[in-house]
Structure 1
Amino acid sequence: MSHLLAKYPAAITDFYGSGTPCVYKTGPVWPVAQGPQSQKIRRAARPIYKHGIAPIWLDTAWSIVAELETFQVDWNAVDPLAYANAGQAALIWEFVITIGVKPLSLVYETAVAAAKVVDGILEAAGFPEIQVAFIESVYRRQGKLMSFDPTYELQGIPGLRKPFTPTLGLANAPYKSPYYEGTGGLYLRLNTDESDKRTVLLTCAHVAHPPPLFDNKEYTRKFGSQLREDIILLGGGSFNDSVEDIMKFIGDQSKAIASWETHLRRIPEPAEGEAVGVTAKRKELTDLIAAAKDKIRAVNELHSHVTKNHTTTASRIFGFVLHCAKIEVGSDGFMYDWALIQIDDDRVEMKDLKGNQVFVGGNKTAIDWENYMFAQLHDRHDFHVPDDLLLHIQDYVREAEFRDPHNYDVHNVKTLLAVKNGRTTGTTFGRVNGLESITRHYPEHGIEVKAVEIVVCSYDTKTGENDKFSDEGDSGRL
C-alpha cells in the first residue's frame, strides 16, 4: 500500500482490523499504538440509531453522491457508520461517512478536495462533527443431493456435511459458469394448490445471470421446450473448499490421536490399588482416542460419498433458472436483484428438505448463539437456542424495528441483531445499521445501478475478532 502511505501515513492504521486501506480521512487524527512490538488498535464499525441527521440523511447522501460524480470519483458505496476501538465502551465512538472507491482509482489530492466539499454539505446540514473517509474497496461481485441430519451425534460432522445438502445457506452457481457463486436464501411454493408441488429457491439475479455473461434483462422459462439454464450446488471454489475442510478435519483428528497416544504410553499399565487420578486420566485419554477414531471413520465415509457422487459439476445440478429479474432500482430506491431457481424433485429428496431453516452452526456453537445474540441477561425473555442449530424463518422484520430495535448487544446498547449463513463466511453474527447507505453496482458491465441499502456491521465483541459479516460469494444468503 505504498501508493497510499506516501501521502497519508494513517492509511493502514485508521481502519486496522478490517483490512480496509484508507486514502484520506477528515477530522482529528486517530490515536495509533506506540512502539514496534505494540499491538495495533483494532477499529470496528457499529450501527447508528436515532441520530439527529436521520430525518435528512438520504437527501444528504444523494447530495454527496452528486458531488462525488462531479469529481469523477469511481465510488461504490457511501456508508454512514460509527467507528470505535474493538471492545471499547459503546458510548465512545466516531461518526464517519466512509466512501468506498475502486483500488488505485483515487489520488490523494482528489480525495482531499472531494472530502472538503462533503464536509461543506455536512456543515450546511448542521453536522460539522461528522468525519469523512475515502477507503479502497472492491466492487461487490456477486462468484440426488444429500439429506442434512444436524442431530448426528458426532461433534463437527453436521458442519462438514451441510455444504453438500440443500439446507438454507446453500452455495450455488450456474452450471455453465461455476465460478460465479452465490447463496440460496429462501424456499417458496409457487402455488397454494396442493396439486402443484413446485418449489423454488430465492437467490440474486447476479448469481443466476452473472452480468459479465448475460444481458441485464428479465428472463422467464415459460415452456418445457426452452433450453434449461441449470444451477448446481457448490460452484468450483466452494466445492474445493468443502472437500479441503473434510481433509483438514481428518488430519487434525489424526494429530490429536497421536498426541493422546503419546500421553497414554506414559501411564503405567492398570494395577490394583493405583491412584484414582491415574485411572481417570487413562480413561479420559482412551475415550478421547476412541471418539476421534469414530469421527475419522464417519468423515471418511462422507468423503467417499462426496467423491463418488458429487465430484463432477453435472452431478451437482439441482434445478434451473425459472425467472430472473432485471437488475434495477425500484421507486423506493432499493435494488431489485432476484431470481427463482426451480428445484428438481428427482435430485432433491423433498421429504428430507428442511425448508426455511437456516443452519447457524458449523463455525459457530450454541454458546456463540447465546453470547452474541442474547448478550444481556435482562434481554433473554425470548431466548432459546434453535433446535439442532436450525433457525426457523417465520416472519420479516418491520421497518420500525430497523429504526428502533428491541434487543441489546454486548455493550448493552439497543441494536437490531442479525445472523446469516453464506457460501463464503459460513455462519456470522452482525448488527444492522439504523441509517441507509447508497451503493453503486456493476459500472464495469455498463449497468451502473445506484441503490439504497442497509449495512450489517460485523459483530465485534470484547474477545472476538472483527470478522466480516459477509463476503464475496455470500450474495443471496439469509
Structure 2
Amino acid sequence: MLCLDLLYNPNISSAPLFCFLPPPQSSSLHNYQRFITVEVSIRTVRGPHASPTTNLDPLASLSSTLYQLKNLGTEDDIPSAALCVYKSGSAWPVRTGPEAQRIIREARGVHGHPIQPVWLELGQRVYKLLDEMGVRWTSIDPLAFAEAGKKSFSPLLLWIGVVPGSLQYKLANTAAEAVTKLISDAGFSGVEIGFRESIVTPSLAGPKMLSFDPFKDPISEFTKPFTPTLGLSIAPLNSPHYEGTGALTVGVLLLTCAHVARPPPDHCNPAPVNKTSNNPREYIIALGHSGYISALQSMMGAIGDLHHLNKDWQDILDRLGEAQEDESETTTQKREEHLNLAKKAWWKTEKINEFHTDVSKLWNLPNDRIIGEVVHFEPIAASVGPQKLPEDWALIALHENKFEWDKFKGNVVYIGGNLSSAEYGKIMFPTDDERTNYAYPKDGLLQVRGVIQLDDIYNPKHLDVNGEQCLLVVKNGLTTGTTIGRALGMESFTRVYKESKIEKTSIEFGVLSYGSTKGPFSAAGDSGSIVLDRNGDILGMLTGGAGTANRTDVTYVTPYAYLDKAIKKYFPDSSLYEAVA
C-alpha cells in the first residue's frame, strides 16, 4: 500500500498505497546437494522427505558427467525445497569425512557483473531460445550462491524454473549447452545454468480504522491488523448488492495489485469502474474472511499462552509461600519478580479480552470493515511498454468517515513484529560506521520518503555484512509479516501457463530471502505490499513469486518508478503522500 498526491477525477478508478489528492478543480538443495563429479547435477529422488541415499541416474553413460546427489532435498539452500533438476559447471565445495557437517548455502544477488548492461536484451534471447527448444520455463533469475554467512562462491548462475515434471535430463543437458553457447557468443564465459522445478504465482460503514501507536498501545501486535499502517490487509467485498453511503475522501487513494482488488476470476474482467445499476460499486474491506478469523485466533492463542504462563508463575509463588521476616533477599526478589509477571500477564489478558470483544461486535460483518471503493482498475497485462513490465495495479478511494485523519500517519511501514530493533539494525546497517549513526525508526514505523531509481537497483551503494554490494529491502505483508530480503541486480523473466498454453511472459525485479535461516521473503497473500530500502525509499510493489506451490524462493516486485508513470497517465498531478511529522 502507498499514498499519492492526486488530482481527483471521480470518473476514474484507483488502488492501495496511500495517495493524496488535492481538492478537485471541477465536479467532473536443506537437503544440501553434494556433487561427486562435475558438469551436471540431477536429483533422482523427489520430495523433501526423500531418503538420503545415493542414486545413480541411468543416463550416466552420456558424454556429460553426472553429479550424484546425497542428502537429497534443498530446504536449507532455498526456502521452497524445490526439486533441483540440473546444474552445469564445476562441482560446488563439500566437506568430507564421517562426521563432516554439510554446507548451508543461500542465494545472493549479483551486482556489477559485465553482463549487466546487456542482460535485459540477452535474457530475452535466452528465453526465446528455451521456447524454441520446448523447455517449459517459468522463471529466469540471474544470481549466485554463497555459503551462509560468507561471500558468494559461485559464478553467475542463471537459475531457471521449469514446470514441475516437464524437463527430462536429455533436454536439460541440451538446453543448458545451447544457452551457454548463446551467452558465450555474446562475449561472456563462466556463466552456469541451473534448472529447478518452480511455478510463478500472484501473492493473492462500521467502526473507524484504529490509530496505531506501538509506544502507548500495550497490545499493538493485535490491534495492528485494524489500523491503516502500511501492511494493511484488504480484500474485495463479496456482497454485490450492498450499497453503502460512505463519502469518498477528496484526496487520499490506496495503491494495490489489480489481482487483489479483483481476485480471480474477476481480475480477467477489463471492464472500467463505472457506478451504474449494471456495474455496482466495488467495495474494499479491511481484512478478508481468513484475515479476520486469523486476527481473532491470534488473540485467543495469546490469552491461552498467558494463562499457562500464569499457572507456572503461580506454582512458583505457592512454593515460595508467604513472606517471612527472616527469609533471604534472593527469595524476596524472586517472589516480587513473579508477582509482577503474574500481574502483568493478568492485565494484558484483560486488555486482549476487551479488544477481542470489541472486534467481535464491531468488525464482525464484512460491511463493517468497508474502507473504500475501487476508482481505477488497470487490466492485468504482461510485457507492457518499452520496459516490458507487468501491469497489475488498481487504486482505491478511501471513505472519509473510516479514518481518524488527525492521527493518520500516511505512508509508514511497520518493521517491528518479526524483528527486534537490534536485529533489524544489525542486518540493515551491518558495518560499525553505519551503526554509529543509525537510529531505529520511532515506534518501528519506517517513513516512506522517496523512490529507488533503476541505477541504484543495478549498482547499490550499500554493502552487506560480507562486504558485498547489496540492496537490502524490507516489507510488511499479511502472510509473512516483516521480512528482509536482497534485491537482485538484474532483471528476472517470468512465464505463466494456462492449460498448457503460454498465458503471459513478463520482466520482473526479483528479491531473495536475506539468508538460509530467515525463511522466504514473501508468501501467498503478501501481494500489494510495498518494498522499501533502509532509508524508506520505495523499490516497488510486491506482485508474486516463484517456487513450489507452498513456498517462495524469489519474490517479484514492480518498480515504483514505473508504477508512478503509469498512474500519472490517469492522475497527472499525483504524488506520494507527504511525510507526517
- Residues 23 and 135 in structure 1, CA contact (< 8 A), matched pair in contact too: yes
**Corresponding residue of 1:23:** 85
Structure-2 separation of matches of 1:73 and 1:336: 25
- Confirm or deny: 8 A CA contact 1:158 1:362 kept in the other structure: no
Aligned twin of 1:360 = 415
CA 1:309–1:277: 2 relative to 1, 3 Å: same
Aligned to 1:113: 174
Q: Tell me, yes or no, if structure 1 residue 317 matches structure 2 residue 370.
A: yes
Supply the distance in 2 between the matched residues of 1:199 and 1:449 (Cα, whole angstroms).
Answer: 32
2:527 corresponds to which residue?
475
TM-score, normalising length: structure 2: 0.72
Contact 1:232 1:314 in 2 (8 A): yes
**Paired position in structure 2 for 1:285:** 338
Matched, 1:150 2:203: no
Distance 2:353 2:321 in 1: 33
Query: Is 1:466 paired with 2:515?
Result: no
> By how many angstroms is 1:441 displaced?
4.0
Report the 3-state secondary structure (helix = DSSP H, G, I; strand = E; otherwise coil) of the residue aligned with 2:161. Answer: strand
Q: After alignment, is 391-400 or 224-233 more displaced?
A: 224-233
1:48-447 counterparts in 2 under 5 A?
48-87=110-149, 89-143=150-204, 144-153=207-216, 157-176=219-238, 197-217=250-270, 219-221=272-274, 226-328=279-381, 329-380=384-435, 383-441=438-496, 443=498
1:160 is paired with a residue whose SS is: helix
Partner Cα separation in structure 2 for residue 15 and residue 81 of structure 1 = 17
RMSD across aligned positions (CA): 2.9
CA distance in 2, matches of 1:283, 1:382: 39
Aligned length: 457
Identity over aligned pairs, percent = 37
SS at match of 1:197: strand
1:186 counterpart residue number? none
User: Aligned partners of 1:335, 1:275: CA distance in 2, in Å?
Assistant: 70
Distance in 1 between residues matched to 2:306 and 2:493, nearest whole Å: 46
One-letter amino acid matched to 1:350: W
Distance 2:450 2:91 in 1: 44
**Cα distance change, pair 175–14 in 1 and its aligned pair in 2 (3 A):** closer
Q: CA deviation at 1:226?
A: 4.8
Does the 8 A contact of 1:13 with 1:40 survive in 2? Answer: no
Distance in structure 1 (CA, Å) of the matches to 2:500 and 2:284: 22
Aligned mates of 2:367, 2:134 — CA distance in 1: 45
**Structure 1 residues 292 and 51: CA distance shift in structure 2, 3 A:** same
Separation in structure 1 between the aligned mates of residue 265 and residue 203 of structure 2, nearest angstrom: 11
The answer to whether the 8 A contact 2:472-2:487 is kept is yes
Q: 1:113 to 1:427 in 2, by over 3 A?
A: same
Show the counterpart of 1:182.
Answer: none
What SS does the corresponding residue of 1:346 show, helix, strand or coil?
Answer: helix
| Contact 1:173–1:208, Cα closer than 8 Å, also in 2 | yes
Cα deviation, 1:425-464, whole Å, max 9, x if unaligned, reads 111111212111112246459783322221112112xxx7
CA offsets 1:330-386 (integer angstroms, 9 cap, x no match): 222222211001112233333333211111112222122212211211123652211
Amino acid across the alignment from 1:322 = V
Contact 2:106 2:146 survives alignment (8 Å)? yes
- Closer/same/farther in 2, CA of residues 230 and 154 from structure 1, 3 Å limit: closer
- Mean alpha-carbon deviation: is it higher for 466-475 or for 422-431? 466-475
Deviation at 1:212, TM superposition (A): 2.7
Note the C-alpha offset of 1:126. 3.5
CA contact (8 A) 2:212 2:227 kept: no
Check the 8 A contact 1:148/1:158 in 2, yes or no.
Answer: no
Scaled by the length of structure 1, what TM-score is found? 0.87
In structure 1, runs of 5+ residues without a counterpart are 179-189, 191-195
Give how far 1:37 is off: 8.7
SS in 2 for 1:220: coil
User: Following the alignment from structure 2 to structure 1, what is the Cα–Cα distance between the partners of residues 396 and 417?
Assistant: 25
- Counterpart AA for 2:209: M
Shift of residue 400, structure 1, vs aligned partner = 2.3
CA distance in 2, matches of 1:226, 1:347: 24
- CA deviations 1:229-253 (Å, max 9, x no partner) are 1222112332232222222222222
Q: CA deviation at 1:73?
A: 2.6
